[in-house]
Amino acid sequence: MKSVADSIETSKTRSLLKGKRVLITGTTGFLGKVLLEKIIRVVPDVAGVNLIIRGNKKYPDAMDRFKAEILTSSIFDHLRSTKPELLKNFCEQKIQCIGGEITEPAFGLSKTKYTELAHSTDVFVNSAASVNFQEELDTALLINTLCLNNVADFAIAAGDIPVIQISTCYVNGFNEGVIKEGICGPTGKRIPCDENGYYDTEHVVSALQNKIGKTKAAVKDSKQLVEALIELGLKEASRYGWGDTYTFTKWLGEQLILKRLKGKRLTILRPSVVESTLESPIPGWIEGVKVSDAILLAYARQKVSFFPARKAGIVDIIPVDLVANGVILSIAEAFETPDDARIYQCCSGSQNPLKVERYVNVICEEVRVNWAKYPNLAKKQPEKKFVLVNKKVFIGVMKGLKLAHSVSDIVRFKSLNTKSKAAKVVDSTLRLSSIYSLYTSPEYVFNSDKLMALSDRMGEKDKELFPVDAQKIDWEYYFQKIHVAGLNRYGMEDRTDAVVTKESVKVEAPSLEEAARA
Ligand SMILES: NC(=O)c1ccc[n+]([C@@H]2O[C@H](COP(=O)([O-])OP(=O)(O)OC[C@H]3O[C@@H](n4cnc5c(N)ncnc54)[C@H](OP(=O)(O)O)[C@@H]3O)[C@@H](O)[C@H]2O)c1
């Protein structure tokens, strides 16, 4: 059997990356780690990898944070045991950690450091983002939209180097049907377009900044201000045609970078819902509990037995190793034909559609039958059934409950600002169901024809080394033999409770019955 090393010799992608210096942001995150590991393992001939890492309280120094929070990750275990010398040498000789904040002009670096970095970078991969659906609007705008000005400035200063911007398929917002690899428009409040087809988002951003300023001036209590900025984000997103602040600000970011780079030297790569590795470096590796795993965990812990969903909708899940491969292919193409702007979707919807009902049945069945194998997920065999209810029915019932609680609060002379706990539970359930129903009641299918064509262009060796085609996934096998076990082993690492990471909500989100009981 041929090894990966044999194949490497004739890889077009590897040849194109040889001797190049890649700058990556977001490597303390999920996708960034998988990307870095893959580059070290399969593309070790790059000249260097520059990582922009912001310091945190525990590790103010970027290199210290790299060693403590990135290098110790179990994603590197495979390399540590199979090629320890390669890992050691690569880290010592080729990795440069730069302590910087990408939301600040020049990343907050001194002029000398900035120029030095610009002169030692051939491509910029921006994976940093706030993936919190309910982020405060000012924070989301800064990291998902405005920081792309700093990325564009850097790319220009470095000599018009190509940029790979990691976006999300869900920039489609409320657009329905087949979503192709092109620019999406708003379905809500109209935003004018220029002659190049780009939306006039400058006005939108300044209107948002205006509202943020007014909110900050009006709300003095810090906790209430956080709530107000979250609400503002969701309200504005919905007004323009998006279901949450995250996808809205990522769409604004796409527009900003497209315009700043004048439609050149740019690849926007949009993954769908990113989940555990399919095979590389090991099957099932995941960091934290992701958004769609909230359903799995809620079922395993019997917290929720009703969920709003459209059974026949296509839930779009893509293993993280396929996304990292998509990034590497995009980098290679950017070196081969640098002038164009491209949009790719790394997803499964069109290649290997998975219906919501099948997805939920497969994961729940695995947890119900083999619960004892997954002690970090389930403490006992789940007994209650998991029922998918129509979104309209669910929201209708919740609105009925909301009205009932409002009346009861008024009868009990509660002011509008001091809702009962029950009314708050209903409110938050309504908010969560409206955000998540876009994902669990999909009315769209993401298409990835262009990414498949890129994979074809790169040739057979690269299809083997950097697969991106979701068609090869056997969903039953993936969820039952790989993903649930991976989630139990890696997703729950160093965790004492089932609280979902930044990207999603607490699994303890109230169910219909809990809300009704409350
Ligand atoms: N995960 C998914 O399902 C999914 C789906 C579609 C698209 N994507 C896209 O894929 C990319 C990577 O996502 P992920 O899942 O790896 O996210 P993640 O695990 O949450 O990692 C986010 C990364 O962004 C960095 N970051 C966040 N705020 C920052 C700030 N203000 N300044 C500097 N860095 C900041 C984080 O650094 P710190 O550690 O310093 O906070 C971290 O390295 C994102 O662009 C996301 O939009 C993800």
Query: Is the CB of residue 287 less than 8 Å from the CB of residue 30?
Result: yes
From atom 20 of ligand 1, which residue's Cα is the shortest distance away? Answer: 29
pLDDT score at 424: 62
Query: Is the CB of residue 131 less than 8 Å from the CB of residue 150?
Result: no
CA distance 454 to 15: 16
Task: State pLDDT tens for residues 447-479.
Answer: 999 999 999 999 999 999 999 999 999 999 999
CA distance 214 to 158: 38
Is 314's C-beta closer than 6 angstroms to any atom of ligand 1? Answer: no
pLDDT band, residue 502 (cuts 50/70/90): very low
Task: State pLDDT tens for residues 477-497.
Answer: 999 999 999 999 999 875 333
CA of 173 to the centre of ligand 1 (A): 19
pLDDT score at 430: 67
- Residue 111, Cα to own-chain centre: how many angstroms? 32
Please say if the pLDDT value at position 506 is more than 60: no
CA distance 198 to 193: 5
pTM above 0.85, yes or no: yes
**Backbone φ and ψ of 62, nearest 5°:** -60, -45
CA of 166 to the centre of ligand 1 (A): 9
CA of 283 to the centre of ligand 1 (A): 22
Q: Which two tokens stand for residue 319?
A: 């293993």
Identify the sign of the CA torsion 416, 422, 428, 434. Answer: negative
Is 28's C-beta closer than 6 angstroms to any atom of ligand 1? Answer: yes
CA distance 251 to 477: 34
Is 289's C-beta closer than 6 angstroms to any atom of ligand 1? Answer: no
Query: Is the CB of residue 115 less than 8 Å from the CB of residue 107?
Result: no
* Intra-chain end-to-end CA distance of the chain, in Å: 61
Pocket test for ligand 1, best of 23, 24, 28, 285 (most atoms within 8 A of CB): 28
> 77 vs 239, 277, 278, 332, 480, CA distance in Å?
46, 14, 16, 26, 23
CA of 31 to the centre of ligand 1 (A): 8
Q: Which two tokens stand for residue 294?
A: 């909230």
Task: State pLDDT tens for residues 184-229.
Answer: 999 999 999 998 889 999 999 999 999 999 999 999 999 999 999 9
From atom 21 of ligand 1, which residue's Cα is the shortest distance away? Answer: 29
Is 288's C-beta closer than 6 angstroms to any atom of ligand 1? Answer: no
> 336 vs 157, 293, 422, CA distance in Å?
21, 38, 59
Is 274's C-beta closer than 6 angstroms to any atom of ligand 1? Answer: yes
Task: State pLDDT tens for residues 354-370.
Answer: 999 999 999 999 999 99
Task: State pLDDT tens for residues 111-143.
Answer: 999 999 999 999 999 999 999 998 999 999 999
Q: Which two tokens stand for residue 501?
A: 């990471």
pLDDT score at 425: 60
CA distance 213 to 508: 33
Is 233's C-beta closer than 6 angstroms to any atom of ligand 1? Answer: no
CA of 127 to the centre of ligand 1 (A): 6
CA of 22 to the centre of ligand 1 (A): 18
CA of 147 to the centre of ligand 1 (A): 13
- Residue 84, Cα to own-chain centre: how many angstroms? 30
From atom 34 of ligand 1, which residue's Cα is the shortest distance away? Answer: 128
pLDDT score at 422: 63
CA of 407 to the centre of ligand 1 (A): 42
CA distance 99 to 102: 10
pLDDT score at 365: 93
Please say if the pLDDT value at position 410 is more than 80: no
Is 100's C-beta closer than 6 angstroms to any atom of ligand 1? Answer: no
The label of the residue with tokens 């491509």 reads 123
Pocket test for ligand 1, best of 23, 27, 30 (most atoms within 8 A of CB): 30
pLDDT band, residue 389 (cuts 50/70/90): confident
- Residue 59, Cα to own-chain centre: how many angstroms? 24
Pocket test for ligand 1, best of 126, 144, 274, 317 (most atoms within 8 A of CB): 274
